Structure 1
C-alpha cells in the first residue's frame, strides 16, 4: 500500500498528540444522550410499518433513482413531497436535496454572487461555511446572536457600496450551544434595510412550535425570510433536506446549484419515508414534543440542583451542553459516563473553540427521568 504523504501524516499525528483525533464508532446500546433522534422517530416501529404500507400503496419496487433529477431521477413522489412542504411551511415552493449538507453547500455556493456580501453568525454549521467558500461573494462573521455586532460589521464593511445584495445568515437552534437568536429582531432589521435573511432550521424542525414546524413559523415570520433550510435526518428520523422559498428561488437552484444538479437523486423509498414521517409528525408529534419539553425542563432543574448550572450553556432546546474545558479532561469524563452505560459525546476542539470543550447532551422524548437524574449525578461527581 502506498504511504500517506508526509504532510497529511503530520496532521494526523498532531491530532493524535493533542487528543483531538476523530475515530468512527458503532452504535453502543448505551442510554442515548447523543443522537439527533429527538422524538424517537428513527427507531419507531409504527412509523416503519406505515412507511412500508405506503410503499405498497404506491406500488414502489424500484431500488434506486437511476440518475440525477434533471436526467432520470425525478420521480413523481418528489412533486408530492415538495407540494406538501410548501403547504405546511406556508411558502411558495420547496426543493428537496439529498442531505442538509448538500442543501447548504448547494444554496450558498450559487446564490450569493460576486460583489454580494454575506454576514453569518460565527457559530453557523460547517456546511454553511463550506458553501460560502464555494461562493464568489465576500463573507464576514458576526458575534453569536449579536444583532448589534452585525450592524457594526455591516456599517464598517459596506461603507459606500451601492446596489449590492446583502445576505444575513443564522440558525434557529444552534447545534453546539442549543440556543436561538431573536429572529423577530433580525427579521425586522433585514426588512428595514432590504437585506435577505436565511435561516437554517435543522435542529428546530419537528421540535419547535405548536406543530413542530420550526422557529420561523412559530414566530410568524414566513413572509420575512428569503430562504429556510429544513432537514429530515434529525427530529423526523429519516434522511434528506429541503430549501424553502419562492418559485423563482427554486428555479434558480435547479439551474445553478451544483450539489443538486450533479448528484443521483434520493431513491423513491427514501421519499416515501420522508412523506410517511411528515404524516407521523402531524399525528404523533405533539405528544412526543410534550415528553421532550418535560425532559428538557427536568434536565435543567436537576443540573441546577447538582450545582452544574455554572457549566451549562443557556438553552431551552433539546441540546444541552456542559462546558468542561480541555480535550483530555472532557474525553475522560465522557469515557467514564460511557462505562456507566450512558452515551454522552465529548465535543472537542477544533470542533468547538479551545477552552469551550464540552459534553453535549441531546435529550429525547424517550429518555426517562431516572436516566437523566442518574447521568447528571455521575457527571457532578466526575467534575
Structure 2
C-alpha cells in the first residue's frame, strides 16, 4: 500500500468513528459561549474580577520576571517564586509540603501513575474524574472500584483485597471531595473510619471544593477537620480560584518522590512566573476580610427551591455550586442545552460518554456573580422547554 493510500485508509477510519458519534448526537465541538454564565467553573468570579486583574497588572509592571519559565522545573524552569508559593500553599492547607503541577489533569496523572507500584491496590469511587482514571491506568497497581459514595461497598472491596494482600502491598483509596458531574460530597469521615481498619492511605481530589468549602476556602477535608487523617490531597487553581494549575499536598517525602518520579511534572515546561503571580493573588483574595462564600450558598438554596425539572427529568441532590439536571437521552439533553443557549443562558449539555447513558444532563454551575433574578429567568426558560 502506498503512503497516500495509507493516509486515506486511516482518515476513513477516523471519519467513520466520528460519524457514529454524530449519529448519536455525541460529537463534541468547540464553541464560544455567550450569555449569562451558568456553566463555567469560575464559582467565585475570580477569573473575571477587575480587582484581581488590576493587582496582577500592577505586579507585572513592578516585576522584572521573564515571560516564560524556559524549561522544566528540574532543568531551568525552577524559581524562588514557585518554591515560596509551594511553601505558602502547603501551610495554608495544613500539610508539610506541596508540589505545583501545570494542571489538575497533570497532577492526577503524575500522582497516580507513579505512586502505586506493582502489587499495590488502587480503590476508587466509580465516579472519579477522568484524570484519575488515566493516572491509574498508567500505573502497575491493581484497580478496584466501589459504588458511588457507598461506604458499605467500599468495605466489601477492602475486605476482599485484605484476604489476598501480600506483605508490603499498599492500598490507596481515592475519592473526590465534591464530584465534578453530580456535585455531591464524599462522606469523608465515614470513608476514613472504614479505611482505618485496613491500613489504607486515603487521597482526596479537592478540585471543586477548593475556594468554596472550609475556612477561607481550604476545602472539605479542612472543613471536617480531617487534615491529619487524609494522606494527600490535590487542590486545583482552575476552578473557584480562576487561574490554572494544581498542587499536590502531603508529606515531605511525597513531594520528593513526585519530583523524581512523576513524568507529568518532570518532562514538561513549568508554569511561567506570571501564572504563579495569578495563583498567589487568588489565594490572597481568600484571606481578604470581606471575602465570603455565604452569598453563593444562599444562591444555591434559592436555585434548588426555584428550579422545576421537566417531565421525566430530575435534579440530583447537591449543596455545591454544581447542580445537575438529569435529562435522559443525548438528543433531548442536547435540545435542552441549545434552547437555553438561544434564550441567552450559557449552559452546556453533558452527554454520553462523559456520563453514563440515561444520565445525560444539563450541568448547571452557580457563581457569586449570578443573581437570584438570573436564576429565576433560567427557571422560566427551563419551564418553557418542558
Pairs within 5 Å for 1:247-266: 247-266=252-271
Q: What is the aligned partner in structure 1 of residue 197 from structure 2?
A: 192
Q: What is the aligned partner in structure 1 of residue 351 from structure 2?
A: 348
Q: What is the aligned partner in structure 2 of residue 146 from structure 1?
A: 150
Q: What is the aligned partner in structure 1 of residue 382 from structure 2?
A: 379
Question: In structure 2, how many angstroms separate the alpha carbons of the residues matched to 1:325 and 1:78?
Answer: 45
Q: For residue 259 of structure 1, report the CA deviation from its aligned partner.
A: 0.3
Q: For residue 86 of structure 1, report the CA deviation from its aligned partner.
A: 1.2
Q: 1:76 aligns with which of 64, 74, 80?
A: 80
Question: For 1:223, what is the secondary structure of its paired residue?
Answer: coil
Cα RMSD of the aligned pairs, angstroms, is: 1.6
- TM-score where L is the length of structure 1: 0.96
Pairs within 5 Å for 1:1-383: 2-3=7-8, 4-28=10-34, 30-57=35-62, 59-163=63-167, 164-283=169-288, 286-287=291-292, 289-303=293-307, 311-383=314-386
Check whether the contact 1:92–1:246 (CA below 8 A) recurs between aligned residues. yes
Question: For 1:337, what is the secondary structure of its paired residue?
Answer: helix
Check whether the contact 1:106–1:257 (CA below 8 A) recurs between aligned residues. yes
Instruction: For structure 2, list consecutive stretches of 5 or more residues without a partner in the other structure.
Output: none
Check whether the contact 1:254–1:260 (CA below 8 A) recurs between aligned residues. yes
Check whether the contact 1:60–1:268 (CA below 8 A) recurs between aligned residues. no
Question: For 1:96, what is the secondary structure of its paired residue?
Answer: strand
- TM-score where L is the length of structure 2: 0.95
Instruction: Output one character per residue of 1:340-366: Cα deviation in whole Å (capped at 9) or x when no partner.
Output: 100111000111000000011000011
Change beyond 3 A, Cα 1:376–1:92: same
Instruction: Output one character per residue of 1:276-316: Cα deviation in whole Å (capped at 9) or x when no partner.
Output: 111112116733x1221111010001125x78896000000
Question: For 1:80, what is the secondary structure of its paired residue?
Answer: helix
Q: For residue 140 of structure 1, report the CA deviation from its aligned partner.
A: 1.1
Question: In structure 1, how many angstroms separate the alpha carbons of the residues matched to 2:312 and 2:46?
Answer: 30
Check whether the contact 2:310–2:382 (CA below 8 A) recurs between aligned residues. no
Question: In structure 2, how many angstroms separate the alpha carbons of the residues matched to 1:307 and 1:135?
Answer: 43
Number of positions where the alignment pairs a residue of Structure 1 with one of Structure 2 = 379
Q: For residue 126 of structure 1, report the CA deviation from its aligned partner.
A: 0.2
Question: For 2:124, what is the secondary structure of its paired residue?
Answer: strand
Question: For 1:198, what is the secondary structure of its paired residue?
Answer: strand
Question: For 1:222, what is the secondary structure of its paired residue?
Answer: coil
